[in-house]
Amino acid sequence: MTILQAAYAACKAVIASAGREPLRAIIYELNHSLSSPPPGYVDRSMLGYLARQQRSQFLGYLLVDQERARLASAPMPALIPPLSDEQRNLLLAAHSQMVALNHRALEPLLNKFPHAAEATDPYGAKLPLTAALDHRSPPFAVEAFESVAVAFQSHPGLRLAITSPPELVNTITAENLLEGVENLEREVRSDGPGKTPRELGDFLHSEPTTSGRRFLVRFLASLMSLRASLRVLDQMLYQAVQTDKPPVLDQNNIADLHHLGSSVTGEGVRLLFQPDLTTFALEPGDIVLLKAIPNMFKLEGLVLSASVSSRFGGDGDATTTLTGRIVSDILDPYARFAERL
């Protein structure tokens, strides 16, 4: 079973889980104005909005709730109604299961290089959560999560990272690893989907394959690839809590499509589409399913949205432009960049 197939199976398991419905209801409530807020408070949907900006699934809601006091004293103060204990506990349980999944998926790497944990953790660069994780009542099917975690251990980035020279890896601190991965990802993304920045291209062509610098960048790239793939996996599972199917972009809603290029850091697309109920609220970081356009565009698969902009021409005339990266079968939005280094 490929990692992508295992991820789909895990999404199906999430949809069938008993824990899904209460979480779906919470997320829906926190993103919609269902009732008037208590006096002095802003609308509850503000919590959902700020949480979505964190691009970190269930953790986003917990962090906004945790930081309510700080938000209330910010230059633009927003007094956000707190989560109820029940909501907080359910979101924490779901986030804890995601963290456990990520950890299990990276187990072979973390056994060898424990200090790479933060750099490969999709939540590693976020604010620390003060509440302790709660693994007592995982809301989703544990077996399916175990299966996808085991499947993830076949990720080529994992093999590449593990086989990196320990004498090199162990000289780098956890903080420097995180910083290195962050910088590399920023650089890879700097020219947008489908493009490889010139400096990286030059590096690929000119740097000797056996140089220490090349080993280091290859190791950082493998960590980046693992983290990005786990982010995609986590987002797929999170979206499965909310809807049975990913938002679909196909011949029935796409008005224009541009292939932005295929480079060592992946393939990019720009899609102009007419939004409907399933696609009108897309945001960067969301996963959409792109289907082939008959007689025109064969490429299809999951797309990780990088930017989304909407245009309203008046009354009901609306279009959305989404640029995104095609997600490979190992869930990597940067193709197999690390392997090519």
Partner 1 sequence: MNVRRVTTENPEAEQWRLLAQYSYEPNIRRYLAARGHGSPQQTDIEYIAGSLRQSEAYYRAAQSSPLDIAPLLAYYGAVNLLSAVAAMLSGSRPAINSHGMELVKPHAPGRIADIEIKPATGNGGLPVLSKIFDPGPPLPGGVSWTMEEILGSLPDLKPEFVGCFPSARSLTLPIEAFTSQGIVVERILVADFGQGANTLATLQAVPGFTSAYLAPQSAREFIILRRKLGASAIGTYSISGRKHLQVGVMKGKKLVAPSQEVLILMGLYALGFLSRYYSEQWNPFVQRDDSGERLVIQKFLVVALRYLPNLAVNAILGERVQFVYEVERDPSSIVVANEEELKRKIREEATAVFQDMRQR
Q: For residue 101, which amino acid is it?
A: L
Q: Does 320 bind partner 1 (CB under 8 A)?
A: no
- In angstroms, give the least distance from the CB of 225 to partner 1: 32
Q: Is 26 or 254 the residue whose CB approaches partner 1 more closely? A: 254
C-alpha angle with apex 307: 237 to 341, nearest 5 degrees?
Answer: 75
Q: Is 137 or 251 the residue whose CB approaches partner 1 more closely? A: 251
Q: Is 244 or 315 the residue whose CB approaches partner 1 more closely? A: 315
Are 75 and 89 in contact by the 8 Å Cβ rule? The answer is no
- In angstroms, give the least distance from the CB of 258 to partner 1: 9
- In angstroms, give the least distance from the CB of 262 to partner 1: 19
Render 176-197 in DSSP notation, one character per residue.
HHHHHHHHHHHHHHTT-TT---
Q: Is 38 or 316 the residue whose CB approaches partner 1 more closely? A: 316
- In angstroms, give the least distance from the CB of 274 to partner 1: 5
Q: Does 313 bind partner 1 (CB under 8 A)?
A: yes
Q: CA–CA distance from 245 to each of 64, 145, 253, 257, 304 (Å)?
A: 27, 18, 16, 22, 15
**Window 201-260: residues binding partner 1 (CB under 8 A):** 251-257
Q: Which of these segments, 9-17, 159-167, 191-199, 313-321, binds partner 1 (CB under 8 A)?
A: 313-321
Please enumerate in sequence order all residues whose Cβ is within 8 A of that of 315, keeping only pairs 6 or more positions apart, or say none: none
Are 326 and 302 in contact by the 8 Å Cβ rule? The answer is yes
Supply 79's token pair.
Answer: 């007094």
Q: Does 114 bind partner 1 (CB under 8 A)?
A: no
Q: CA–CA distance from 314 to each of 211, 282, 319 (Å)?
A: 58, 20, 11
E strand intervals along the chain: 248-249, 254-263, 266-273, 287-290, 301-314, 317-326
Q: Which of these segments, 42-50, 88-96, 165-173, 311-319, binds partner 1 (CB under 8 A)?
A: 311-319
Q: Does 310 bind partner 1 (CB under 8 A)?
A: no
Contact string (CB under 8 A) for partner 1, positions 260-299, x = contact: ------------x-x-x----------------xxxxx--
Q: Does 42 bind partner 1 (CB under 8 A)?
A: no
Q: Measured between alpha carbons, how far is 89 from 121 in angstroms, rounded to an integer?
A: 22
Q: Does 316 bind partner 1 (CB under 8 A)?
A: yes
- In angstroms, give the least distance from the CB of 257 to partner 1: 6
Q: Using CB under 8 A, count the residues that bind partner 1.
A: 24
Q: Does 45 bind partner 1 (CB under 8 A)?
A: no
Residue choice 147, 153, 262, 319 for contact with partner 1 (CB under 8 A): 319
Are 152 and 229 in contact by the 8 Å Cβ rule? The answer is yes
Q: Does 89 bind partner 1 (CB under 8 A)?
A: no
- In angstroms, give the least distance from the CB of 320 to partner 1: 11
Q: Is 208 or 314 the residue whose CB approaches partner 1 more closely? A: 314
Q: In what order do the strands lie in the sheet with 317-326?
A: 248-249, 287-290, 301-314, 317-326, 266-273, 254-263
Please enumerate in sequence order all residues whose Cβ is within 8 A of that of 32, keeping only pairs 6 or more positions apart, or say none: 45, 48
**Partners of 301 in the β-ladder:** 290
- In angstroms, give the least distance from the CB of 276 to partner 1: 7
Q: For residue 54, which amino acid is it?
A: Q
Q: Is 7 or 303 the residue whose CB approaches partner 1 more closely? A: 303
Q: Is 19 or 268 the residue whose CB approaches partner 1 more closely? A: 268
Residues binding partner 1 (CB under 8 A)? 251-257, 272, 274, 276, 293-297, 311, 313-319, 321
